[in-house]
Amino acid sequence: MSDFLDKEITYLPGVGPKKSEVLKKELNVTSYGDLLRCYPYRYVDRTKFYRIKEISPASMYVQIRGTILSMTTQGTGRSARVVANFSDGESVIELIWFKGVKYVMERYKPGHEFVAFGKVSEFNGRCNLVHPDMETINEALSKQTLGGVQGMYNTTEKMKNSSLTTRAMQKMVAEIFSALGTQRLVETLPDYLIQEKHLMPFHEAMLNIHFPQSQDALRLAQFRLKFEELFLIQLQMLRQRNVRRVRFAGFKFSKVGEFFNRFYSEFLPFQLTNAQKKVLKEIHADMASGKQMNRLLQGDVGSGKTLVALMTMLIALDNGYQAAMMAPTEILAQQHFESISKMLNGLDVKVALLTGSSKKKEREVVLQGIKDGTIQILIGTHALLEDPVVFQSLGCVVIDEQHRFGVEQRARLWGKSERPPHVLVMTATPIPRTLAMTIYGDLEVSVIDELPPGRKPIGTSHRFDTHRSVIYDFIKSEIAKGRQAYIVYPLIQESEKSDWANIEAGYESLKQVFPEPYYHLGMVHGKMKPEEKDAQMRLFASGATQILVATTVIEVGVNVPNASVMLIESAERFGLSQLHQLRGRVGRGADQSYCILLTSVKLSNDGRQRMEVMTRTCNGFEISEVDLKMRGPGDLEGTQQSGVALNLKITNLATDGDIIQYARDAANDVLDADPDLLSPENYLLNRYLDRVAKESVNWGVIS
C-alpha cells in the first residue's frame, strides 16, 4: 500500500508516455505521490457568476456566463490574435487569444453559450479576459466542484502545449483518488502528533487541498501540509545538529582571561552597545558549553560586528588557542587586518594576514608562524582554506559576509583542527527570523539590532534621472567640503553589452561634468584584474580620487568613512537588499551622508515600492521583510547555504512564520523525548530521515 504513491505516473489512465515526459521535465513529477504534492497555487470560487458590469481591474479571477456575439482575427503573423465580444445579455466584454488562433476560431462559434473563466486584465482602460478557460454550458453544469472552491495549478507553456492545463491536472489528481478506491492514503506523521497538534489526517488533507469540501476544510488541509513540510525539515536539521554535537565534542573555552579583559577595560575606545554586549554573552555561553559553537551573527552594516568578532577570537586566545578570520575579498581581509592590528596595538597579540597575493617569502613566514603557534590570529581570504595552511591549535573561526562561502568551504575549515573549532559566521544581509530558522535551522542566530550611538540615518531620496544636473551640483558641494562620492551603475549581467555601454558612457560624461584638474575620478568594475581593482579602491580610500564610479563590486564591506554620497543610477534595476548594501557604503563617519536613487520616470509598481521602502527606512531587517514579501525567498541570498534541501511546496516563508516556530518546537520536543527516533511510534519519522539521508549528501556532520 505504501507503494501506491510510488507508482509511476505513466500508468495513470489518460497520461501515457508523452505526457509523463512533459510532467517530468516541467514539474519533476514521476510518481503518483509527486503529482499529489503539486498543490494548487490558488483557489477560486466557481459557484459565483459575475455580471460583466460588476467587473473591475481589481476583480482578479471571474467567471461569466454568456454568449459570443462575434469573433474577429486582428493583426497578422506573430501579433495575430482573436478578439471575441462576449455578452451576458447586459453588457459586453472582450475575450482575447494570442495563441492558437485557428483552433479558437473553429471551436468557439458566435451564438453559442459558454462559461468563460479567467483573470481580468486591463487594456486601454477596459477590462478583458486573456486566454480564458472556456466551457460549454453543459460541461460547466455537469462538473461537480464540491465546495465551490476550485484549485488552480501551476502550468507551464510546454504543459499547455501538451494539453496539460489546470483542468487536466484536476482530472489526473481525481484519477489517482479513484485508483485508490476504498483505501486511504497512508499517514505520514505519527498518530500522537496528529492528536496533540490537532492535525487533519494525511488522506483528508490531500483530498481537501485538491478538492476542498469547504473553506474551513481547505484551511485545515493547508495547515496540516505546511506543518508536515516544516516539521520534517526542522526534524532533519535538529537531528543533524544533535548528531554533530554528540560525535564531536567542542572545545570548552570557559576562561575569559587577560586578552579579553585587558582589551575590554584598557583598549576599547568606546562603550559596547547593549546589542554587542548581549551577543558577546551568547557567544561566550556557547564557547564555554563544551559543545561546538555554530552561530550566525546578523547585524546591519556599521553595527560593529568586527569588534564582536575580535572579542570572540580573544576568548580563544585566552584559552590557549589560535583564531582565524576569513573575508570574501582581498581588500576586506586587508581592512580587517589593519583595523584589528590597530585595535590590538599595545596588547601582546601576533596578528598576520594571508591572501592569494601574499609574496612567497612572507607567505612562508606566516605559514611557519601558524604552524608553530607564534601567530595567534590569522586573517585572510579563501587562501586560508588551502592545504599548506596548518594551524598549531585552531580554536575559533570567524567568517565574514557568509553568503559568499558555501557549506563546503566551512567544512574544509573543520579539517584544520583536532576538534571542530567554534564558528561564527557574520552577515550584513539580514534575513528575517522565519527564514533564518528554516534555512539555517542548524545554526543559532544572534542579532545586533542597534547601531553605535551618534550615527545619523543616511538621508535617502528618490529622484528622476531628468534631474541629474541638480544632483551633480550637490555632489560638487559635498566635494567642496572635502567629502567623497560613489556613483554606481547597474551591471546586472556581466555579459550585457548595453550595461557596459552605460557605465562607459556614464564615465565619459562624468569626466566632462567633473573635469580635471579640479576633480579626480576613479573606476572599478568586475572585469578588472584584482590588482587593478585594489589599486583603484586604495586611491579612493586615501582620498586621491574623490569620485568612484563603480558597479556592485563595491557592495561588500568596503569602508571609506569620508565618503558621504552614494548616487545609484537606474536604481530600479537593483533589488532591495543590493540597494541597502550599497547605501551602507556611506554613513560610516559621524557626518551626515546621503543616498540618491536615480530612476527613470517610468517605473513599475514594484520599482516604485522599492524606492518607497528605501526612502522610508534604513533598517536592514525591515527592508529584508519587505523584500521577502515582494520576491519570495527563492532569490534571497543565502538560501542555498543549508545542508538540508529546501524544496518548499506549500509553505510561504513570508507569511507562515508562526507555523515555522510551531513546527520547530514540535520537532525539538520529539527529539528531546526520543533522540534517535527509536521508539515504535516514531518509526515513520525514522524511516523518513533514512530516506532523505540516502538521497542527499550528508552535510550534517560538517555544516
Which residues would be at the binding site for ligand ADP (CB under 6 A)? Answer: 270-273, 276, 299, 301-307, 428, 452
**Alpha carbon distance 584, 579 (integer Å):** 9
Minimum Å gap between C-beta 304 and ligand ADP is 3
DSSP of 234-294: HHHHHHHHHHHHHHSBPP------HHHHHIIIII-SSPPPHHHHHHHHHHHHHHHTTB--E
Q: Which does 464 bind (CB under 5 to 8 A by kind): Mg ion, ligand ADP, none?
A: none
Q: What, of ligand ADP, Mg ion, none, does residue 651 touch, CB below 5 to 8 Å by kind?
A: none
Nearer to ligand ADP, 225 or 399 (CB): 399
Compare residues 260 and 489 and give the one whose CB is closer to ligand ADP: 260
**Residue with Cβ nearer ligand ADP (299 or 522):** 299
Give the number of other CB atoms < 10 A from CB of residue 429: 22
Query: Using an 8 Å Cβ cutoff, are 50 and 59 in contact?
Result: yes
Cα 236 to Cα 122: distance, rounded to the nearest angstrom: 47
Helix (H, G, I), strand (E, B) or coil at 452: coil
Kindly report the number of other CB atoms within 10 A of residue 513's CB atom.
Answer: 15
- Which among Mg ion, ligand ADP, none contacts residue 134 (Cβ within 5 to 8 A by kind)? none
CB of 630 to ligand ADP, least distance (A): 25
Shortest separation between residue 306's beta carbon and Mg ion, angstroms: 5
From the list Mg ion, ligand ADP, none, partner contacted by residue 304 (C-beta under 5 to 8 A by kind):
ligand ADP
- Total Cβ atoms within 10 A of residue 699: 17
Count of residues of this chain found to bind Mg ion when the rule CB under 5 A is applied: 1
Which one, 305 or 416, has the nearer CB to ligand ADP? 305
Beta carbon nearer to ligand ADP, 451 or 654: 451
Select from Mg ion, ligand ADP, none the partner in contact with residue 276, using the beta carbon and a kind-dependent cut-off of 5 to 8 Å: ligand ADP
Least separation in angstroms between residue 592's CB and ligand ADP is 16
CA distances in angstroms from 627 to 540, 579, 624, 631, listed in the order given: 31, 11, 5, 6
Binding-site partner at residue 288 among ligand ADP, Mg ion, none, CB < 5 to 8 Å by type: none
Q: Which residue is nearest to ligand ADP (CB)?
A: 304
303 binds, among ligand ADP, Mg ion, none (CB under 5 to 8 A by kind): ligand ADP
Provide Rg for the chain, Cα atoms.
Answer: 30
CB of 350 to ligand ADP, least distance (A): 22
Supply the minimum distance, in Å, between the C-beta of residue 156 and Mg ion.
42
Strand order in the sheet with 521-524: 459-464, 594-599, 563-568, 484-488, 547-550, 521-524
**Closest approach of Cβ 578 to ligand ADP, in Å?**
16
Q: Which helix (H) or strand (E) holds 42?
A: strand 42-45
Buried b (16+ CB within 10 A) or exposed e, 266-303: eeeeeebbebbebbbebbbebbbeebbbbbbbbbbbbb
Contact (Cβ atoms closer than 8 angstroms) between residue 441 and residue 235: no
User: Least distance in Å: CB of 581 to ligand ADP?
Assistant: 10
Q: Cβ(446)–Cβ(280) under 8 Å?
A: no
- Smallest separation (angstroms) from Mg ion to the CB of 486: 17
| 542 to 571: interface string for Mg ion, x by CB under 5 A | ---------------x--------------
**Cα dihedral 138, 142, 148, 154 in deg (nearest 10):** -80
Q: Which of 352, 403, 359 has its CA nearest to residue 373?
A: 352
For ligand ADP, give the closer residue by CB, 120 or 309.
309
Q: Which is nearer to Mg ion, 490 or 557 (CB)?
A: 557
User: Based on CB atoms, which residue is closest to ligand ADP, 276 or 292?
Assistant: 276
Q: Where are the beta strands (DSSP E) in 305-350?
A: 322-326
User: Least CB distance from residue 444 to ligand ADP, whole Å?
Assistant: 18
Residue 437 contact, options Mg ion, ligand ADP, none, Cβ 5-8 Å cut-off depending on partner type: none
- Looking at the Cβ atoms of 236 and 273, the one nearer to ligand ADP is 273
Beta-strand pair 133-136/113-123: antiparallel
Nearest to Mg ion of 420, 557 (CB atom): 557
Nearest to 299 by CA among 624, 593, 571, 575: 624
Positions in the binding site for Mg ion (CB under 5 A): 557
